[in-house]
Structure 1
C-alpha cells in the first residue's frame, strides 16, 4: 500500500534556546549554483521532495528561509576536545543551521550546511567545502545508512563555481555547498562550552531542550540525559565496528548527543578486521583507529558527564557512565548478528557467536565486505579457518532469505581506491554517471539488508 506524502511540518525549536547558543550569519554569495546531488528519498521524509528545481536551489544553495522555519541561518557555538586537547576557539566555522522541521517519525530534524561561508568561528578558514569533500560525504552517508549505522544524510550538493586552494589535494579545486539532514546538531562540545563558562542556567536550558526535542521526554534531569546519550553513543560505536567504518576524527565536537554520526572528513572503510587501521593521515598515534573507536566515543561521553557536574553530583553521573561498556557489548552483538543475517537466539549464545565472528575475521584476514556478503543468512565456506564460526552458527536461523538480486552479484564495498575511482571522472570530464551508479548500488544493498 502506497504511503501518503509526508506533510511539510516546519519548526523553530532552536530559537527557544536563545541567543547565547548561536550567532545569526549570512550565507556566502556564490558565483554559481549547479545542482549535483538531490536526495529526494530523504526529502520525502520531511515534505520537501515536491520542491521545483528553482525552489530547491533557492533554499539549498541561496538559503532562502523555508516558510515557517528559522528566519535566518544560525552558527552554533561550541567547544571541544580535539585529539584530547581542549579547544575553546571553535564553533560552526564553515556551516550553519538554517531550518528545522519534523520527519515522518515525528522527530525534530535540522538542515545544516557545510561550505556555506565564513562565520565568527572560521578563524583562518575560508568557510568553503571542496566538491570532492562533498562527493565523499555523499558516499559515506549513503553507505552508513545502508549498513544500519545511525547517520546524518546528505540532502543536497551544489557546485558553487569557486576555485579553492587546499594543501591536501591538487589545487585549485572545485567548491561546493552541502546540506545535511540531521537529528539535531547539539554536540558534546555544546555542553562543554557552557561548563567552561560556568553558565548554569543555560546548561539547564540545554538539558531540557535535548530531552524534550531530541529524545521526546518531558524532563530536565541531567542524569537521565547522560543515561540516554550513553546508550545511543554505545550503539553508534558498535555499529561503526560492525560496518567496518572508521570516522577518522572522533573529537567531542563531532559527537552528536543523539548518537547520530555526522561530519565526515578523512573517513575510510577498513579492508579487514584490523584494529590498528586509521583513516586520518594526521592521526599519528592511532587515537581514532578502527579498534579504538569505542574507547574514543566512551571518552567523549565522559566529557559530557564532566560538563554536567555543573548541575549534579558526580555519583549518579559515574553510575550512568559505567553503563557504556555493557551497552556497547550488547549493541555490538546485535550489530554483528544483523550483518550475519541471522535471528538472535539467546544472550549467551549470541555473545559467543559475535566473539567467534570477530576471532574468525582477525585470524583469517578475510575482506570484510566479501565476508559479510557471502555468509549472510548463516552460510559458511568449508575449511579449517571457519570451523569455530560454523559451529557457533549451527542453531541460528536466517532473518531473511537471500532472494534479493543483490545477493547474486558482488559485494558492495567502499574502499579508498573506489572512492578515488568515483571522483576521477568527475574531476577529469565532469562525468557523474559513476557516482550515480554507485549510489544506486548502495541503495540496492540497503534494500537487501533491511
Structure 2
C-alpha cells in the first residue's frame, strides 16, 4: 500500500531556492536489492506501510514521494581537518524529502519513552490529530550518484560503509545519543574501487532519517561569498524550524541554541565512549544530532588519545579532543554570523559552551549509571571517580562494562562484584568510585529487572565485532548476524530507557 495517512510532506528547505541546492537525479543502478529496512524509523514519518516494491522505488530509484519536489544536492563548504575547502557540497548524496513527524511519534518522543504504555495509549487517542506539532525530518542519501559537487568522484557508497553506518546509528540510539537513523540500505550491484578497502567491493545506496542536514558549512558557504542576505535567510529558516524559542532575527540567540545542543551531543558522545572520527564543519549540524558516520569507533577501554581515523595522524579528533573540536567548529559558525550580528553577544553565546558541556557531561554519566542527581558537587565527584576507575583499570576493564555492571548505582553491587569482572573492582580508585556511587540513589531501579541485566556482558560495538559482522556478509552473503545484532541493540535501547 502507499504512504500512510500519518505521512505529512513539508519540503521546507527546497523553498530556499537555487542558492542553497541543485536539482539532481539519482544514478541508474544495475540492481536494487533491499538489505535493511527500518520500519520502526519509517513509522515516525508514516512510511512503514510501503510495500517492498514501493520502498525500492522511493529509496533505490528515488521516485519522489507524494508532495516532494525531487532531490537536491545541498550546497555547503567546510573546514576539513581545519583546512578550508570551498569546493565541497553533497558529492554523493542529496536531500530526498522532508516531512513532519507523526503525532504519535512526537508524543512518544516528548514523553521520553519513560512510560511507554501510557504514552502509547495517549498517542492512540491523538492518532488522527494532524494539528499536533511534530519535528521536521529529512530523508538524506549517501551513495546515490554524482552531483555537481562530486569533484570527479563516483558518488557511490560501499556496502560495507552502509553497514557500518547502520551499526553506528543503532548503537548510539540504544545509548540515548542524538543520532540520525538509517532508514534504508539497498545493494546496487556495482563493483567499486577504493584505496582503503579490498577492491573491487560491493556498492549500496543508503537513506538516513535525520532532524536536519543544515551544516555549519552551509553557513560558511554564504559567508565565503559575502552574502549577508543568504546568511539572514538561512538563519531565519533554521531558527524558525529547529529553535523556535529564539526570537526572530536573534542571531546570537540562535547561536546560543546551537551551542547548547552541540554541548549536549558532545557530552553524550563522551559518555558513550564514541569517537566520531571526522569532526569537520560539514559534519556538524544546527540541531545537535550526529550523522554521516565514516571511520567511527567506540572505545575498547579508556584512552584519551584514541583515534578512529587512520589518517588522523595528529589526533586532532581523538576521543578526549572532541569537545575542543566541536567548540572550534562553533567558532567558525559564529564567524559567519558576524556578518549579521554584533560580535559581543556572539562571543557570549560561544563562551557558554564550556559550562554547558560540563553540565551535560555530568548528566550524561549519571544517566549511563542509572542514578539520580544529588547536586553539582556530588555529581562531579561521581564523574571524576568513574573516569579515574576507567583510567586505573584500563588494561583489565573495557569502557562499556563499567556502566553495564554498575547501572542502577550501588544496588547493582552484588551483580557487579559477583560477575565476570568482580575481581577487577578493587583498589583505591574503585573505593573512591564506590563511595561516590553510594551517595546517589538509583533512578527507576525497576529497569534492572530487564533480562538484559542478567547477561554477563553488555552490548558493545568494538571493531572486531564490526569486522566479523561484515565478514559474514562479504564471504557468505549472510545477513543474519547483522540483523540479530540490530535486534539486540533495539532490546538494549528498551532496557536502558524503560
TM-score by length of 1: 0.97
Report whether the alignment pairs 1:50 with 2:49: yes
1:396 maps to which residue? 440
Question: In the alignment, is the contact (CA less than 8 A) between 1:6 and 1:45 conserved in 2?
Answer: no
List 4+ stretches of structure 1 deviating above 4 A.
none
Number of corresponding residues: 445
Once the 2 structures are TM-superposed, how far is the Cα of residue 444 of structure 1 from its aligned partner? 1.1
Question: In the alignment, is the contact (CA less than 8 A) between 2:378 and 2:439 conserved in 1?
Answer: no
2:142 maps to which residue? 114
Counterparts of 1:403 and 1:216 in 2: how far apart (Å)? 39
Counterparts of 2:166 and 2:494 in 1: how far apart (Å)? 18
Deviates further, 28-37 or 405-414: 405-414
2:426 maps to which residue? 383
Once the 2 structures are TM-superposed, how far is the Cα of residue 215 of structure 1 from its aligned partner? 2.0
Report whether the alignment pairs 1:407 with 2:449: no
Q: How does 1:77-156 map to 2 (within 5 A)?
A: 77-103=75-101, 104-105=105-106, 106-156=134-184
Question: In the alignment, is the contact (CA less than 8 A) between 1:35 and 1:157 conserved in 2?
Answer: yes
1:441 maps to which residue? 488
Once the 2 structures are TM-superposed, how far is the Cα of residue 6 of structure 1 from its aligned partner? 7.5
Deviates further, 11-20 or 239-248: 11-20
SS in 1 for 2:345: helix
2:110 maps to which residue? none
Match for 1:247 among 228, 253, 276? 276
Question: In the alignment, is the contact (CA less than 8 A) between 2:222 and 2:228 conserved in 1?
Answer: yes
SS in 1 for 2:232: helix
Report whether the alignment pairs 1:304 with 2:350: no
Cα deviation per residue 1:135-181 (whole Å; 9 max; x = unaligned)?
Answer: 00000000000111100110000000111011111111000000000
Question: In the alignment, is the contact (CA less than 8 A) between 2:80 and 2:281 conserved in 1?
Answer: yes
SS in 1 for 2:79: strand
Question: In the alignment, is the contact (CA less than 8 A) between 1:130 and 1:164 conserved in 2?
Answer: yes
Cα deviation per residue 1:291-318 (whole Å; 9 max; x = unaligned)?
Answer: 0001001110110001101111211111
Once the 2 structures are TM-superposed, how far is the Cα of residue 18 of structure 1 from its aligned partner? 1.4
1:362/1:158 CA distance change after superposition, 3 Å: same
Counterparts of 1:359 and 1:319 in 2: how far apart (Å)? 32
Cα deviation per residue 1:240-277 (whole Å; 9 max; x = unaligned)?
Answer: 00000000000001001110000000000011111000
SS in 1 for 2:44: helix
Match for 1:273 among 283, 289, 302? 302
Aligned-residue CA RMSD (Å): 1.1
Counterparts of 1:267 and 1:216 in 2: how far apart (Å)? 32
TM-score by length of 2: 0.88
Gaps of 5+ in 1: none
1:370 maps to which residue? 401
1:420 maps to which residue? 467
SS in 2 for 1:155: strand
Counterparts of 1:35 and 1:7 in 2: how far apart (Å)? 24
